Amino acid sequence: MKKHIVIVGGGFAGINLVKSLVNDNRFRITLVDKNNYHFFPPLIYQVATSFIEASNISYPFRKLFSNYKNVNFHMGSLVQVHPESNFIETDTGDIHYDYLALAMGTETNFFGMENVKRCAIPMKSIDEALYLKNYMLLTLEEAARNKETKEAQKLQNIVIAGGGPTGVELAGMIAEMGKYIAEKEYPEIKLRFSNLYLIDALPSLLSPMSKVAQQAAYEQLKKLGVKIILNVAVKDYVDNKVILADGKVIETETLIWTSGVIGREVPGIPEESVGKGRRLLVDAYNKVQGMKNIYALGDIALQLTEEEYPKGHPQLAQVAIQQAKNFGENLKRIEDGKVLNPFKYNNKGSMAIISKFNAVVDLPKFSFKGFLAWLTWLFIHIIPLVGFRNKVRLALDWLRLFITNNPSIRLILQPKRDTSK
């Protein structure tokens, strides 16, 4: 009897677990995801700023699995896990499993601020990136029509909450859009009324990275005209006013929220198996605490067994990829009756792009910045993309766009069904 491996979530962890088990006749694999495509999260900010097409960083699961004989795809959202009966309930049907791998990642953390949750724009998915793209383009059009100074300024102000890699990369891209595109294509807009704010509660940008990276990001964004506010948290968002903890108020119709993440809720998993940040507590082999055949991988897993990472591993793509590969090998070892290998993270570094031809790279032994870091960033971000066509298209698009400074995909597309027919 083939063992049925059910994987919930088609991100870095889910895809790499599938790849580690393909064409092994001892396993039957079902990947469950609410979307029908895998996408590359580190580049969604370039979708949100009209720089690249969403299709450049996305790939359909069914096409990806078309040559894998032991892999099936089930489109649906997880509703509940039933550990005692070994099945999961989704909104499109029930699926029984021998082993369950939870790899759903995280969702945006609004820290209990209901107004921010309701009115701010998050950016964790392709849908959210496309929404942000349309929203900013529509706001530009409205600003171009508006003649009233105070209203125009509110329309042209943009606030980004969160100074991590996503916030920094998004701020740099929006600032360059204003520099290269807005001046040319929106002559009606008085750019002196435009302000781009980047706000973080911590004392530095890119806080998990090196001092070299932090300083480079701060200096380059300042040169681009970004107003950086540190050591102050966003407290509320009321009537198009961002209220900061120090009492300052910024009027804006655009609050972009990149300030934190929290593990996705998994109904059916007991509370004692859930740790800080709603991440699932796992042992050295990624088995969920108190479960016999349920595992968690990637951002949703909180593994406290490795000495170098007493508070858990960073929520990075490399951790998810390495955990998935290790777990895949351990599943084979279980079938072979061999001793399992505990997970050990191999830190390959981190990086962030700040602006055109300017990035920062932290490697385990040293850090560097500037043009060489930017080339490294480009190279590293093309390699993991699924599909040869995606890599070629993205490389050519980047080459053209960085030379011309003029992306041509600023289309406001909002599909609607004609209910009169």
What residue ranges define each of the domains in the chain, with the CATH number in brackets? 3-108+261-336 (3.50.50.60), 114-259 (3.50.50.100)
Return the pLDDT at 145.
87
Kindly tell me if the per-residue pLDDT of 391 is higher than 80: no
Burial 150-165 (b: 16+ CB within 10 A, else e): eebbbbbbbbbbbbbb
In the block, which residue shows the tokens 């655009």?
A: 254
Q: Lowest mean pLDDT of 10-14, 181-185, 218-222, 231-235, name the range.
A: 181-185
Return the pLDDT at 26.
95
Q: Which of 169-173, 279-283, 402-406 reaches the highest mean pLDDT? A: 279-283
Return the pLDDT at 180.
76
Between 11 and 388, the higher pLDDT residue: 11
Return the pLDDT at 192.
63
Return the pLDDT at 133.
92
pTM check: above 0.75 = yes
Kindly tell me if the per-residue pLDDT of 408 is higher than 70: no
Give the Å distances, CA to CA, from 71 to 5, 15, 63, 98, 223.
10, 11, 11, 15, 50
Model confidence at 117, pLDDT cuts 50, 70, 90, reads: very high
Return the pLDDT at 371.
86
- Summarised one tens digit per residue, pLDDT across range 188-198 is 877 666 899 99
3-state SS of 195-261? CEEEECCCCCCCCCCCHHHHHHHHHHHHHCCCEEECCCCEEEEECCEEEECCCCEEECCCEEECCCE
Q: What is the mean pLDDT of the chain?
A: 90
Kindly tell me if the per-residue pLDDT of 70 is higher than 70: yes
Q: Averaged over 178-204, what is the pLDDT?
A: 83
Q: Is the dihedral of CA 198, 201, 203, 204 positive or negative?
A: negative
Q: Averaged over 307-318, what is the pLDDT?
A: 93
- Summarised one tens digit per residue, pLDDT across range 137-150 is 998 888 888 878 77
Return the pLDDT at 236.
97
Return the pLDDT at 235.
97
3-state SS of 357-383? CEEEEECCCCEEEEHHHHHHHHHHHHC
Return the pLDDT at 150.
77
Half-sphere exposure of 293 (CA within 13 A, CB side): 20
Model confidence at 315, pLDDT cuts 50, 70, 90, reads: very high
Return the pLDDT at 129.
94
Our measurement of the distance from residue 285's CA atom to the centroid of its chain's CA atoms, rounded to an integer in Å, reads 25
Q: Averaged over 327-350, what is the pLDDT?
A: 95
Between 385 and 335, the higher pLDDT residue: 335
Half-sphere exposure of 252 (CA within 13 A, CB side): 28
Kindly tell me if the per-residue pLDDT of 77 is higher than 60: yes
Amino acid letter for position 222: K
Our measurement of the distance from residue 411's CA atom to the centroid of its chain's CA atoms, rounded to an integer in Å, reads 23
> 145 with 62: CB under 8 angstroms?
no
Q: Averaged over 168-177, what is the pLDDT?
A: 91
In the block, which residue shows the tokens 């970004």?
A: 226
Give the Å distances, CA to CA, from 323 to 266, 285, 364.
19, 9, 19
Give the Å distances, CA to CA, from 132 to 135, 139, 233, 255, 363.
5, 10, 22, 10, 32
Kindly tell me if the per-residue pLDDT of 342 is higher than 90: yes
Share of the chain above pLDDT 90, in %: 68
Q: Averaged over 125-147, what is the pLDDT?
A: 90
